[in-house]
Amino acid sequence: MSDRSTSSGHSLHLKGLVIKIGGSTKPKSHKKAAYWSDEDTTALLEFLIEELPKAGDGNFKKSTWTAASSLISTKFGITKGGR
């Protein structure tokens, strides 16, 4: 360590109160977490395994995820969001 850093009177540790200025005091609202049954998960994984050869570089294309979403919503009757 240099003499400069050891003799510094400054610290990265908090010395006093922190006052939040601005911002909202409203609590943030979050969507309800989606619930995936074992059947849902299995259907998605089986679909993705079938699509894996089309992935090329190892990443699924947007069209694959769109097709997976369509499959799940059709198969399980989900129209929007979680169950």
pLDDT digits (tens, 9 = 90+) for 23-78: 666 777 888 877 888 998 999 999 999 999 988 887 899 999 999 999 988 888 77
pLDDT at 68: 94
pLDDT at 58: 77
pLDDT at 21: 72
Inter-residue long-range contacts of 62-69, CB under 8 Å, 24+ positions, other chains counted: 68/44
Give the number of other CB atoms < 10 A from CB of residue 77.
8
**And the tokens for 33?**
């977490």
User: What is the pTM (predicted TM-score) of this model?
Assistant: 0.56
pLDDT at 51: 93
pLDDT at 64: 94
